[in-house]
Amino acid sequence: MNSTTEKQFELIDHLNHILHHLKNKFVGKDDIIDLMGICLAGRENLFLLGPPGTAKSAMVRELSKLINGKSFEYLLTRFTEPNELFGPFDIRKLREGDLVTNTEGMLPEANLIFLDELLNANSAILNSLLMVLNEKVFRRGRENRELPVVMIVGASNHLPEDEALAALFDRFLIRVRCDYVDPALLNNVLEAGWKLEKKDMADKPEISAENIFDIQSMIGLVDLQEIRPAYINLVEMLRNAGVQVSDRRAVKLQRLIAASALLCKRTKAIPSDMWVMRYIWDTEEQQEVIAGIVNTVVSADKETASQHPRASLQAIPNADEIYKEVVDMTEKWDDVSLALAERTIIKDRLRYLNGRCEWISNEVQRKFVQEPIDALWQKIIHSA
């Protein structure tokens, strides 16, 4: 390894340290934070889907504090106007007959952009946003400038319902569900949240936007040749399963596969780096199908020592495991000597599993698991 490569890998270590810091702050969000790292290294957009109160905004805000650069956050509504995102026209220039935007403190100057409730975007700003998301370019009248953005994050509590918004959603290569954490981790969540309240600044790492750009420039150093046949086969399998993987998306997804290799300090991709493909779903129903296809490729990779940690982890709930756990909880609930605190734990856990059950896309399996969940809820209600 030459000195240049060593210096480049020091930047990778620094980024991984940033991600580790975030994981300590946001318990139970490791998958989302790992994907943030992938999108930062690959300079691609990340979409967070989830209900209010699941720390979507908080994670992005905390990341923005760790990036020594400018950030821009905005909550979109149906009435949001372009000026609110890009800035107003410069009045002084306008008097001289020039249409120039005053972008100070606005989206075009930001290194990290967070668009909350993204799918509330209206037609007035839609085209401008598409240009920003796809080409990382701000274009308005005669103005045309490249954006200094390292990553764009969008968030919503629902998926697109019309074609215009589907085009906006399509510009986000990676989509991840942001849910409430497992009740078993609640104590850790409360402790980490309280540290945030105290604004504990000890050992707070930072990375510059310039350093992130340096990491992004390393993407081209990753050798994809050996995995390309497997990647082409994977894309074909996904298309045959009804997943829309356009040629444009297939080309861009290579950047994220390369990013997985980089974050593992490799300049050569291995089959398990294709784990990122689990997160290219368009609908919630596609998740299990995609995960099953991608996991076939990932599990065949024998180079386990150098795999990305996320490669071997499953994002889709296992119906058999949930069913067994609910049966065990039902047996415990029937025990008349069970303490009140333990009954409370069972109720919290059941709420969590009930939410996970909704993510089982196979209807037969979902109904199979839902029956004992509903039965236990009835017991809990009647015992109240």
Closest CA to 271 of 245, 299, 240: 299
Q: With 0-12 CB in 10 A as exposed, 13-18 as middle and 19+ as buried, what is 88?
A: middle
Whole-angstrom distance, CA of residue 59 vs CA of residue 49: 13
The pLDDT of residue 175 is 96
The fraction of the chain above a pLDDT of 90, given in percent, is 53
Whole-angstrom distance, CA of residue 370 vs CA of residue 365: 8
pLDDT digits (tens, 9 = 90+) for 174-202: 999 998 877 666 677 677 767 666 665 55
pLDDT digits (tens, 9 = 90+) for 232-269: 999 999 999 999 999 999 999 999 999 999 999 999 99
Comparing 215 with 162, the larger pLDDT belongs to 215
The pLDDT of residue 338 is 86
* Average pLDDT along the chain: 87
Going by pLDDT thresholds of 50, 70 and 90, the confidence category of residue 81 is very high
**CATH level 3 topology of 3-197:** Rossmann fold (3.40.50)
Give the range with max mean pLDDT: 221-230, 291-300, 306-315. Answer: 221-230
How much is the average pLDDT of 110-132? 92
How much is the average pLDDT of 35-41? 97
What are the residues whose beta carbons fall under 8 Å from the beta carbon of 340, sequence distance 6 or more? Answer: none
What are the residues whose beta carbons fall under 8 Å from the beta carbon of 214, sequence distance 6 or more? Answer: 8, 11
Domain ranges of the chain: 3-197, 218-312, 319-383
Tell whether the model's pLDDT for residue 96 goes beyond 80. Answer: no
The pLDDT of residue 46 is 98
